[in-house]
Amino acid sequence: MTRFLITGTIVATIAFASLAAAQTSPGLAERRAIAAFEKDSFPALQESVQAAAGFEVPIRVDWNSLALPGDDKYYGQDDYLVKTVFTPLENAMKNIAQDEMGKQALREKLQAISIHYTEAGSPASAYKDRVKFEAGTLDVNFRPFTNSADVDDRTKAIVDILEAAL
């Protein structure tokens, strides 16, 4: 009986792990929708963030991590990625680069911006815990399509991390 219980537990664990992996990998609909966003919307958003920063800081996006299963029909809406990721990022760059001292600090220390989403770690609303600045890279790990009205809170989290590091 113990042997069956252990075997059943192993099978259940493997099945759960397979299900979890399947849920985190974007399907074809999600990949198509995120590719359309990347092609149609991202260039203007990237340009806005870079203009706010005052220089062409490279922006690396892990598109598959932002493509949440079942949300493909929302990717093009402002509430999905624009308000939750790009507007706070642009606002933070404007805040930091409001004077020559801020612009210079960004140019000297900010080498890249990395955008992605991983569920692990802090709750989605713990914005300050989801922003890091290490080795010249600003890492933004905000959940898409969640609390889209919290633009100011997300902006503040980015500004606080950058100001402390610059």
Distance, in Å, from the CA atom of 51 to the CA atom of 74, rounded to the nearest integer, reads 27
pLDDT of res. 79: 87
Kindly report whether the global pTM for this prediction surpasses the value 0.85.
no
pLDDT in tens, 62-120: 999 999 998 889 988 988 999 999 999 999 999 999 999 999 999 999 999 999 999 88
pLDDT digits (tens, 9 = 90+) for 13-23: 343 333 343 34
Task: Please report the beta strands in the chain, taking only residues with DSSP state E, as ranges in sequence order.
Answer: 59-61, 112-115, 131-134, 137-140
Q: How far is CA 134 from its chain centroid?
A: 16
More confident residue, 9 or 158: 158
